[in-house]
């Protein structure tokens, strides 16, 4: 191990905006820390050198158990670790990322690492995830809301064309044919946009970050309830806890939830019920999306996650199926080391279960 007073190392720490530290686990004291670490915690280096436990006082109360578990893991495991948690200050909070490398010298164990203030990056990421989730929901709502008026316009144009055909007015007939074609094309365009967005969001690579699942699910359900779809269905979210934290690729996982809700809407009659529930267990989290719709016929259930064409069927109002949604949903859940299954009975509704590790 490099001597703690090494000039090059100290110069690097003094010039960096990131926090640098060497913590002696045996004596539970800092052998070295730079000024930037104190700046991130808004404490002086002298205060932290004198009492390292002051660090815990600024950890957000919702993340305190998580931070203590991270420390315990570093002590018990000699591998490199990266963690994220929040610091709480009056009327504001910070996000920090800590990289820790355990090093043992003889009987002494050191925790060596860096601390980054990632508040701006995380706020931007959360904002982007919100925009992306709402964009996908908006596309789904748009596809549903446009289908009915465009279908009606197409039907009226077809009826008018039959009447005009008797007059022989070619110009009027051509105009009505144009209206029919435009309606059909736009219906296909909107559905194609929804399908392509879901495909793009399911690229096999995922990037998991610690997220509050309850907050994310509430936001999705809130958006649906404000839409026209929410007025035609009773959509409800319940959870036994105020917060459930786990590591997720929020953008991709929320698209899974969005697709399951969208499917429930397609196969549930107007004013039917769609319930989303999250339950936290010791090492897992269980999310359910249940409806009291028409259910999945038994002969279609076996191939539901396998892209089989015979499992495709239109919704109650003729909504089309892209034919790949369920297969991609399972792939995304698998990439989160989770499990997905369902129970369904014709005429009695369907419940999808997603189990994720904490």
Q: Would you state the pLDDT for residue 199?
A: 53
**24-47 burial string, b = 16+ CB within 10 Å, else e?**
beeeeebebbbebbbebbebebee
Is the Cβ–Cβ distance between 227 and 252 less than 8 Å? no
Q: What pTM was computed for the model?
A: 0.57
Could you list the beta-strand ranges (E) of 43-147. 81-89, 92-105, 108-117
Q: Would you state the pLDDT for residue 319?
A: 55
Q: Which of 18, 10, 17 is nearest to 113 (CA)?
A: 18
Regions in the chain scoring below 70 on pLDDT: 1-9, 128-148, 187-205, 228-230, 307-325
Contacts of 131 (CB under 8 A, 6+ apart): none
Q: Would you state the pLDDT for residue 1?
A: 44
pLDDT digits (tens, 9 = 90+) for 233-246: 899 999 988 889 89
């Amino acid at each position: 191990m490099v001597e703690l007073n090494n000039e090059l190392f100290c110069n690097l720490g003094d010039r960096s905006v990131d926090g640098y530290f060497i913590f002696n686990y045996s004596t539970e004291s800092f052998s070295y820390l730079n000024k930037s670490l104190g700046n991130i915690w808004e404490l002086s280096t002298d205060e932290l050198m004198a009492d390292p436990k002051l660090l815990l006082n600024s950890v957000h109360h919702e993340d305190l158990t998580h931070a203590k578990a991270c420390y315990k893991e570093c002590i018990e495991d000699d591998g490199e670790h990266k963690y994220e948690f929040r610091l709480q200050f009056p009327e504001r909070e910070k996000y920090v990322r800590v990289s820790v490398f355990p090093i043992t010298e003889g009987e002494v164990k050191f925790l060596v690492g860096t601390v980054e203030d990632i508040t701006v990056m995380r706020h931007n990421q959360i904002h982007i995830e919100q925009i992306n989730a709402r964009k996908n929901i908006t596309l789904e709502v748009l596809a549903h809301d446009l289908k009915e008026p465009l279908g009606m316009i197409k039907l009226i144009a077809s009826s008018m064309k039959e009447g005009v055909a008797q007059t022989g007015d070619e110009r009027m007939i051509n105009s009505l044919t144009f209206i029919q074609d435009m309606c059909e094309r736009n219906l296909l365009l909107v559905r194609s946009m929804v399908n392509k967005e879901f495909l793009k969001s399911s690229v096999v690579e995922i990037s998991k970050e610690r997220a509050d699942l309850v907050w994310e699910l509430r936001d999705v359900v809130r958006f649906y309830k404000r839409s026209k779809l929410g007025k035609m269905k009773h959509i409800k979210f319940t959870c036994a806890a105020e917060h459930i934290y786990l590591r997720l690729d929020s953008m991709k996982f929320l698209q899974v939830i969005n697709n399951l809700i969208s499917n429930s809407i397609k196969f549930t009659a107007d004013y039917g019920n769609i319930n989303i529930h999250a339950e936290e267990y010791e090492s897992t989290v269980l999310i359910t999306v249940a409806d009291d719709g028409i259910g999945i016929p038994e002969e279609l259930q076996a191939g539901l996650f396998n892209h089989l064409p015979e499992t495709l069927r239109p919704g109650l109002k003729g909504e089309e199926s892209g034919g790949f949604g369920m297969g991609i949903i399972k792939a995304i859940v698998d990439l989160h080391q989770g499990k997905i299954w369902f129970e369904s009975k014709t005429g009695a509704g369907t419940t999808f279960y997603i189990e994720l590790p904490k």
